Amino acid sequence: MASQTASSNRATSAGSDERNGIDYSMLQSRLGYKLRRAQMVYFDVFFEACAQEGITPGLFSILAIIYHNPGLTQSAVSVALDVDRSAMVAAIDKLESLEVVERRKSQHDRRSYALYLTNQGKAFTERLNRKVVSGEEGFDTFMKEGEREWLLDILDRIIEARKK
């Protein structure tokens, strides 16, 4: 499905798509447009791997952060992922309902909750990660040697530039 989405909207170098007759020329050099389209293609790949588990890319990110950083507060996870704190509450509620995350009173701040994966949550996150890695292996097969690392570096620099 991901390749269908990408190929059905692929524009020629002249800026129009021969299959649908639409002129994309104003968008072809827009970074935001291309990044969003690439994100949509990647999300198709992610959903093929994780949709049956009820996990979105955002929820997977939260699980990954908690997996490697047990005991962070909801606020700290929110800041780490640049997610609105109110959205974080709903996300943690969902993960708690799946019995993969638990809130515990923070030992450092009694007003806050620390987040931990349950034993089931650890196994769940590891299984999801294997699925995501497997999906990505097929996703980037069109890239030449070194391009994946180059793209990750460029994306990191875009993210860091926004923080300044």
- Give the pLDDT score at 138: 79
59 Cα distance to chain centroid: 8
- Give the pLDDT score at 1: 45
Q: What is the pTM of this model?
A: 0.80
Separation between Cα atoms, residue 34 and residue 17, nearest integer Å? 15
Cβ atoms of 95 and 101 within 8 Å: the answer is: yes
- Give the pLDDT score at 8: 42
Q: Digits of tens for pLDDT over the chain (164 positions)?
A: 444 444 444 444 456 666 788 888 899 889 999 999 999 998 998 998 888 898 999 999 999 999 999 999 999 999 999 999 889 999 999 999 999 999 998 887 778 889 999 999 999 999 999 999 988 887 788 899 999 999 999 999 998 898 77
